[in-house]
Amino acid sequence: MNKIVNQIQNEFKSCNDLIYKKIKIKFKTYHIFFLETLSSSDKVNNYVLKGISFNNNINNINKLLPSPNFINIKNKDQINYYLCNGFTIIINNKNIYAVETKADLDRSISEPTTEANLYGPKDGLVENIQKNLGLIKRRLKTNHLKNKIIIVGRQTKSIINILYIDNITDMKLVNKIEKKLNNIDIDSILDAGILKKILDGNNNPFPTIKLTERPDNICSSLLNGKVIILIDGSPYALILPSFLIDFINPISDEYSKYINVSFLKILRIICFSLAIIVPGFYIAITTYNQETIPIPLLLNFSTQRSGVPFPAIIEALIMIIICEILKESDIRFPNNYGSAISILGALILGEAAVNAGIVSPVMIIVIAITYISSLLFSDTEISGAIRIWRVIFLIFATFFGLYGISLALIAFLINITSYKSMYLNYTFPFEPNDKEYLKKLALGKKTNKRSSYLTNNTTKSNL
């Protein structure tokens, strides 16, 4: 028997899904291998088996089999790769062919779930990289859209695509990303999240890479000079570099009128600050700087707190922990249980905790404002960063009052302004200041220019 056939059979010894067929036509023997879990039986039957079996005179198998993807394998080490990618391997003497007979294992295109928006396209990325590329190329009909392929993962051999528009994107950025990806030595890349963790590998809680499942968001980022990474098997794409403002504002802002969106954008920046500062500020003014509270309010606070046995900081921490538990359980629980959790949470927080004298009503208001503000940001990484800085502000306020808030604010500003996304400043377009881009991102105003910080091709008509 053919040596190669033996080799394949040995390598896939305990793999029950390997199907082997031997077809003899005249004096020629064809050994056919495919994995039934990855290949479509219909395709194998119609395109390969029938094609070979019903033709008595096979001179050129390439012309005989009507597959769009027919590969003549020169290196026998590649057989495994093609088998594992749903190809059917045909061996005739020393000739090895691979015919694409992939089964449709992926779902159909559906609406994005993590970036749901009222307006804008309703299609989202899926697990099939080809479909995802199609969704992007359908929108960007230009030959300048390039994609570099890199295979990462010793076991998963995941296909990674680096997408960029060659006459917009700074090639220094592309090369840097490519170099980083080439240096990855890992067993498996199962999802875009893992790659994000590897590329964004620093101790700062703020994320520098944005995950998205919206093709319109991807296209908009590409047109601004950013780079997109797609991974086969993941319905998310990575946008590099991403700045703080990208996590605050959703793409849907681009579909509404500038005057209406401006207010929302400013509101989101306010909410970002509120989500971090409010609990600390409350602790500061009620334990150190009571002079800042008007007397009717101070008396109210004093009366409400009179029955609470804990210091304000413990009260705040109890509430923050309860809210975090509720938030986490709401995400983890199936949707059907969601309302039950909400009712339970509202009861615990709204009534029982106050009646039991564990927390004061005003603390519930403070924490509610904090959490409502933080719910504006759907990205879990940015929520995590807000959570960490909230606790830092809280600790500083507990020890130093409003002075502590100022200290924490200085620390926060130092941290965030010195932080880099790839090699670019994270606080862009605020620092370094880019008025054109700031108008677009922070106020939603239309601009005909790209940011010179991201690309050298700043005129939009040059695509």
Partner 1 sequence: MKIPKIYKISILILIIITLTGCNTNYKSLNDMSIISSLLIDKKDDKFITYIELYKEEKSENKSKKLSYYITGTGHNIEDAINNASSLISKELYLVHMNTVIFSKEIAQNNLEDVFNYLETKVQINSNYYILISDNIKELMDSKNEDNPILGEKISNLIKYSSNNGPMINYDYLEKLKNYVSNKKDIFLNKVEIENKNITIKNGYYFHNNNLVGTLNNDELKLLNLFSNFNNLYFTFKIDNKQYIIKINNCDINYKLNNEININLNIKGNIYYADKGLDLNNVDLIEKINSHTKYSLKRRIEELLNKLINNKSDIIGINNYIYKINGYQKLDMFKDKININIDVKTNKKGLIQSTLGGSK
Binding residues (CB under 8 A) for partner 1: these are 286-288, 290-291, 295-296, 298-303, 305-306, 308, 311-312, 399-401, 403-404, 407
Nearer to partner 1, 299 or 375 (CB): 299
Nearer to partner 1, 303 or 462 (CB): 303
Nearer to partner 1, 306 or 355 (CB): 306
- Closest CB 294 distance from partner 1, rounded Å: 9
CB 87 within 8 A of CB 101: yes
CB 452 within 8 A of CB 458: yes
User: What single DSSP character describes residue 49?
Assistant: I
- What count of residues does the chain have? 463
Nearer to partner 1, 173 or 397 (CB): 397
- Closest CB 350 distance from partner 1, rounded Å: 16
- What distance in Å separates the CA atoms of residue 196 and residue 186, rounded to the nearest whole number? 13
- Closest CB 398 distance from partner 1, rounded Å: 9
- Closest CB 240 distance from partner 1, rounded Å: 28
Nearer to partner 1, 192 or 397 (CB): 397
β-pairing verdict for 95-100 and 70-73: antiparallel
For tokens 């509610």, name the residue: 368
Dihedral sign for Cα 150, 153, 155, 159, please.
negative
- Closest CB 360 distance from partner 1, rounded Å: 9
CA quadruple 443, 446, 448, 454: dihedral, nearest 10 = 30
Residues 6+ apart with CB under 8 A from 362: 282, 300, 301, 304, 305
- Closest CB 420 distance from partner 1, rounded Å: 18
- What distance in Å separates the CA atoms of residue 157 and residue 319, rounded to the nearest whole number? 46
Residues 6+ apart with CB under 8 A from 406: none
Nearer to partner 1, 133 or 308 (CB): 308
